[in-house]
Amino acid sequence: MEYGSQKTIGFKEQTRESSFEDCIADLVNHEIVMEMENYRHHNSTSCYEHCVEVSYKTYQVCKRMGLDYQSAARGALLHDLFLYDWRTEKLEEGRHAFVHADIALRNAREEFTLNAKEEDVIKKHMWPVTLAPPRYLESFIVSFVDKYCAFTEFLKNKRKG
């Protein structure tokens, strides 16, 4: 499966399991999800690249642990569907770190039918920055994987510079 503009994003050297691709197939090439390619997220990584990476790593962890890897991977793919440049756009709702999860959830609900676990993954992925703790173990995992991926993206950029 190819993601993005006819290219595979992330994990090029690894063979993805077809069940991961099946989990996200209806989302990954959707127009609104593809729009995340237009926004730089952490350093030189696009929001889209970041979300695909978080989704795949979440899938791997949750599958290994016998959890709901499908909902976790889908929620992780949509967790940063906020669709603006947080470096330049000032929000009336508040600071990006505290409000973008709600914006991402609103955008995801407008385009997709989400289950409760997918919604919790999106809404709570910034915990503990935001105070409400995740309801599901899958949501905790996405929160930690998201931070891990952001850290590796930061390090990758530091090594280049």
User: Percent of the chain scored above 90 by pLDDT?
Assistant: 63
- Mean pLDDT over each residue of the chain, to the nearest integer: 85
Please tell me which residue, 64 or 7, carries the higher pLDDT value. 64
For the chain, domains (ranges, CATH) are: 18-160 (1.10.3210.10)
Only one residue has tokens 């994987």, namely 145
Q: CA quadruple 72, 111, 127, 133: dihedral positive or negative?
A: negative
Q: And the tokens for 137?
A: 């173990």
Q: What is the pTM of this model?
A: 0.85
Assess contact for 70 and 21: CB atoms under 8 A.
Answer: no
What residues contact 18, with CB distance under 8 A and at least 6 apart? Answer: none
Per-residue pLDDT band for 93 (boundaries 50, 70, 90) equals low
User: Percent of the chain scored above 70 by pLDDT?
Assistant: 78
Q: Give the phi and the psi of residue 142 in degrees, each rounded to 5.
A: -60, -40
3-state secondary structure of 128: coil
Please tell me which residue, 88 or 7, carries the higher pLDDT value. 88
- The pLDDT of 144-149, averaged and rounded, is 96
Per-residue pLDDT band for 83 (boundaries 50, 70, 90) equals confident
d(CA 58, CA 42): 18
pLDDT for residue 91: 62
Q: Give the phi and the psi of residue 24 in degrees, each rounded to 5.
A: -110, 5
d(CA 149, CA 99): 20
